[in-house]
Amino acid sequence: MYSDWGIDFFTSPRFADIHSNNCAKNGLLPVVLPDAVCAAIRKQLNENPGATVSVDLAAQTVTDAEGKSYRFEIHPVRKKCLLEGLDDIARTAQYGDRFEAFEAAYKKERSWLYTS
């Protein structure tokens, strides 16, 4: 996994929907930044081996090797899932109480559908 190498996010001027969704489902943050910003970050990293770029998902910012920050947009649900480490199953499980309440009400209203 990329996180084994210290990679938590990717940045690019654009991502295909399927790639973006797959990254997020695997705990990686796909960050869309303008072409010029991506080029500047790439240049900094190439000219300064060992330099780092960091991301603050809560603040929705990327900080380049020179300390300049760039804001990025992310869907609120994707942000929540990444911050809380939720996959699709864990996210759905958060609504367990609502599912149970619905099922109980449904069963009560339509008792004739159930044998027990």
- Residues 25, 87: contact at Cβ < 8 Å? yes
**CB within 8 A of 79, min separation 6: which ones?**
57, 60
What's the predicted TM-score (pTM) here?
0.73
* Per-residue CA distances from 75 to 7, 49, 57 (Å): 21, 33, 11
Q: What's the CATH number of domain 2-85, 3.40.50.450, 3.20.19.10, 3.40.50.720, 3.30.70.990? A: 3.20.19.10
In the prediction, which pLDDT does 1 show?
A: 52
Residue range 25-48: average pLDDT?
A: 93
The tens digit of pLDDT for each residue in 76-99 reads 999 999 899 888 888 889 899 999
What is the spatial distance between Cα 93 and Cα 75, in angstroms, rounded to a whole number?
A: 20
In the prediction, which pLDDT does 64 show?
A: 95
Domain ranges within the chain, ordered by starting residue: 2-85, 88-116
Is the confidence at residue 6, as pLDDT, over 70? no
In the prediction, which pLDDT does 116 show?
A: 65
What is the spatial distance between Cα 14 and Cα 93, in angstroms, rounded to a whole number?
A: 32
In the prediction, which pLDDT does 90 show?
A: 86
